[in-house]
């Protein structure tokens, strides 16, 4: 088929002209979760635990839909379609879905079993998982289409060998070969430095994607969370150490390993995650005490039975580990927050998003329902460094908050720039980011460390429609007295302090220079080059 005339021209324009991206300007706000099984909603199928193998398992199986005298299992009723069979297991009660957040959409991009390499972009060595691309690559179209206000990240546990630790500790108990702590602690210790670095890198990858989508760091909050523990201390276990009840009821571990997991291993894993987050200056949410009193086999929690079905306040909030786990569902669900647990984590997310930025811990207690968890502030974090405003005109004495003839010390101490820090600094110039733009504003210093020239490459900065990216021809139409002072620099008029830089017939930057600089074309060229 051949298109001609106006129709052909229109189609050609649609093909060749890139579509404007909404990103932080979108009216559709969103919250996003990234990471592993503890945030994807793994085990969200279950409201507590039961040993009953049939029917709705004493009311615990949320995937068992009524069908006459019995029920019909439909895992897609709780797990996102395509993730339900040994997949990412993104459930309808995952914390980002359970949280009450003032956003239009809550989007879960996480996947059960994820490691840091599954967060990294493919272009940076990241790998997909369970038939899906790396999570940072999945984040990009969401960030471009929505106005993302919150990103929750749970990562690092699988890099430390979480699944193998649980497996080896169960094997040690069942075979009566002694506690697993000595061998497993060595594994964790050996992996700590690498995992801290990779958690930091995962954060960098998320930041890079958001920047590519046009976000400044203060356009959204990135919060890294640790892991809630689903097993109790030995003294809090309702079954004696060598009683068959431990294995039957899904907690086949030595007393020493219970205490090690609760008081040493889990805090160390959390410390690794927080160290990676702290190295990048992002917020953290410590969840180690979130399920206190609701762990499986805890004295203060109970399973469901044919005769008694505890409420969420009295139930176990983690999926137990035993024969019933496999008989009723899938092994990968074991040792994860169940539906009650995910709702409890949703409460933590609700409260942390409502609070000012900082580091936090969220804790529970026996007898509380999932809505009753408490948030504790550990430290207040100053809001992320702000970029300069998205739009600004070029004045005779400055650009936006930046002014000519201010000293370097004056810029650092200026109340006008209290929430703005230069993205890069050198003795000759400071460079500032601009919200929603890849462009920047540069302050060039002269003798006496005073600002002698300011330039902006952000497309939203300019006057009379003349801004970086427009043609020199348009600039000439807007400013009839435009005067050329070098091959690449023009003054808007012989008396104006405002300038534009031109390359290949396009305006590359707009700016303003001091009277001292404008008296010398040589100085003007030198400082314009210094601005880059």
Model confidence at 419: pLDDT above 80: no
Q: How many CB atoms lie within 10 A of CB 77?
A: 15
For residue 261, the 8-state DSSP code is I
12 pLDDT band, cuts 50/70/90, is very low
Residue 18: what pLDDT? 39
Mean pLDDT value across residues 499-503: 95
Task: Confirm if 316 and 301 have CB atoms less than 8 A apart.
Answer: yes
Per residue in 278-301, pLDDT (tens digit) is: 999 899 999 999 999 999 999 999
Mean pLDDT value across residues 478-495: 93
Q: How many CB atoms lie within 10 A of CB 469?
A: 14
Mean pLDDT value across residues 205-226: 91
Residue 382: what pLDDT? 64
Task: Confirm if 114 and 138 have CB atoms less than 8 A apart.
Answer: no
Which contacts (CB < 8 Å, 24+ apart) does range 440-446 have?
441/388, 441/399, 441/400, 441/402, 442/531, 442/532, 443/402, 443/411, 444/527, 444/530, 444/531, 445/408, 446/514, 446/516, 446/517, 446/523, 446/527
Q: How many CB atoms lie within 10 A of CB 482?
A: 18
Per residue in 53-104, pLDDT (tens digit) is: 999 999 999 999 988 778 899 999 999 999 998 899 999 999 999 999 999 9
Q: Please tell me the CATH code under which domain 23-380 is placed.
A: 3.40.50.1110
H or E element that contains 33: strand 29-35
Backbone angles phi, psi at 324, to 5 degrees: -65, -30
The ranges assigned to domains in the chain are: 23-380, 398-531
Q: Indicate the burial class of 423 (C-beta count within 10 angstroms; 0-12, 13-18, 19 or more).
A: middle
Model confidence at 447: pLDDT above 90: no
Q: Average per-residue pLDDT in the chain?
A: 92
Task: Confirm if 522 and 486 have CB atoms less than 8 A apart.
Answer: no
361 forms bridges with which residues in the sheet? Answer: 286, 376
Which contacts (CB < 8 Å, 24+ apart) does range 423-427 have?
423/387
Residue 11: what pLDDT? 37
Which alpha helices (H) appear in 83-127, and where do they start and end? 95-98
Model confidence at 22: pLDDT above 90: no
- Residue 463: how many CA atoms within 13 Å on its side-chain side? 18
Task: Confirm if 58 and 50 have CB atoms less than 8 A apart.
Answer: yes
- The position carrying tokens 């330039």 is 455
439 pLDDT band, cuts 50/70/90, is very high
Residues 6+ apart with CB under 8 A from 12: none
- The answer to whether the 23-380 and 398-531 domains have the same CATH topology is no
- The position carrying tokens 């039975």 is 305
**Residue 180 tokens, joined:** 């697993």
Residues 6+ apart with CB under 8 A from 233: 258, 259, 262, 263
Model confidence at 17: pLDDT above 50: no
Mean pLDDT check: name the lowest of 38-47, 300-309, 384-393: 384-393
Model confidence at 13: pLDDT above 50: no
Q: CA 460 → CA 291, 437, 468, distances in Å?
A: 49, 8, 8
Q: How many angstroms from the chain centroid is the CA of residue 477?
A: 46
**Residue 139 to residue 151: CA distance in whole angstroms:** 10
H or E element that contains 299: none
- Residue 192: how many CA atoms within 13 Å on its side-chain side? 16
pTM of the predicted model as reported, rounded to 2 decimal places: 0.73
Residue 385: what pLDDT? 57
Q: How many CB atoms lie within 10 A of CB 282?
A: 24
Classify the C-alpha dihedral 384-36-52-302 as positive or negative: negative
512 forms bridges with which residues in the sheet? Answer: 454, 498
Q: Which fold has domain 398-531?
A: protein yfey like fold (2.60.460)
Task: Confirm if 359 and 284 have CB atoms less than 8 A apart.
Answer: yes
Task: Confirm if 472 and 488 have CB atoms less than 8 A apart.
Answer: no
Q: How many angstroms from the chain centroid is the CA of residue 207?
A: 8
Residue 384: what pLDDT? 52
520 pLDDT band, cuts 50/70/90, is very high
Residues 6+ apart with CB under 8 A from 487: none
């Amino acid at each position: 088929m051949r298109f001609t005339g106006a129709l052909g021209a229109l189609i050609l324009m649609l093909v060749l002209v890139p579509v404007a991206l909404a990103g932080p300007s979108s009216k559709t706000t969103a919250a996003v979760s990234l990471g592993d099984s503890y945030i994807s909603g793994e085990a969200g199928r279950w409201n507590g635990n039961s040993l009953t193998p049939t029917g709705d398992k004493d009311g615990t199986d949320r995937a068992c839909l009524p069908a006459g005298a019995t029920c019909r299992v439909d895992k897609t009723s709780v797990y996102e379609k395509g993730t339900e069979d040994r997949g990412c297991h993104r459930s309808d009660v995952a914390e980002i879905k359970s949280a009450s957040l003032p956003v239009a959409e809550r989007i879960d991009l996480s996947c059960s079993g994820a490691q840091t390499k599954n967060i990294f972009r493919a272009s940076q060595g990241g790998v997909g998982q369970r038939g899906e691309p790396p999570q940072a690559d999945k984040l990009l179209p969401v960030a471009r289409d929505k106005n993302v206000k919150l990103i929750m990240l749970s990562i690092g546990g699988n890099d430390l060998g979480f699944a193998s630790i649980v497996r080896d500790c169960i094997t040690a108990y069942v075979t009566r070969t002694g506690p697993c702590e000595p061998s497993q602690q060595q594994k964790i210790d050996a992996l700590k430095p690498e995992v801290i670095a990779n958690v930091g890198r995962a954060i960098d990858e998320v930041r890079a994607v958001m920047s590519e989508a046009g976000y400044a760091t203060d356009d959204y909050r990135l919060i890294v969370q640790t892991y809630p523990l689903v097993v109790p201390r030995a003294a809090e276990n309702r079954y004696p150490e060598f009683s068959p009840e431990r294995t039957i009821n899904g907690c086949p571990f030595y007393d020493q390993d219970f205490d090690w997991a609760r008081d040493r291993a889990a805090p160390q894993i959390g410390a690794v995650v927080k160290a990676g987050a702290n190295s990048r200056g992002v917020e953290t949410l410590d969840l180690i005490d979130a399920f206190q009193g609701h762990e499986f086999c805890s004295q203060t929690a109970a399973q469901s039975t044919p005769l008694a079905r505890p409420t969420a306040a009295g139930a176990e909030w983690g999926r137990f580990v035993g024969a019933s786990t496999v008989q009723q569902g899938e092994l990968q669900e074991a040792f994860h927050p169940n539906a009650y647990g995910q709702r409890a984590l949703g409460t933590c997310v609700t409260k942390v998003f409502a609070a000012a930025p900082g580091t936090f811990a969220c804790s529970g207690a026996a007898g509380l329902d999932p809505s009753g968890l408490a948030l504790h502030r550990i430290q207040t974090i100053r809001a992320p460094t702000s970029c300069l405003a998205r739009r600004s005109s070029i004045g005779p004495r400055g650009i936006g908050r930046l002014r000519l003839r201010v000293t370097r010390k004056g810029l650092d101490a200026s109340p006008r720039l209290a929430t703005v820090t230069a993205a890069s600094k050198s003795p000759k110039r400071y460079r500032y980011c601009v919200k929603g733009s890849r462009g920047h504003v540069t302050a060039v210093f002269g003798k006496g460390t005073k600002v002698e020239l300011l330039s902006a490459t952000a497309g939203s900065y300019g006057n009379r429609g003349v801004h970086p990216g427009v043609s020199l021809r348009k600039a000439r139409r807007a400013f009839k007295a435009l005067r050329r002072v070098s091959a690449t620099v023009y003054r808007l008029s012989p008396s104006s302090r405002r300038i534009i830089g031109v390359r290949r017939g396009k305006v590359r930057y707009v700016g303003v220079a001091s009277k001292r600089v404008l008296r010398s074309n040589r100085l003007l060229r030198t400082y314009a080059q210094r601005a880059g």
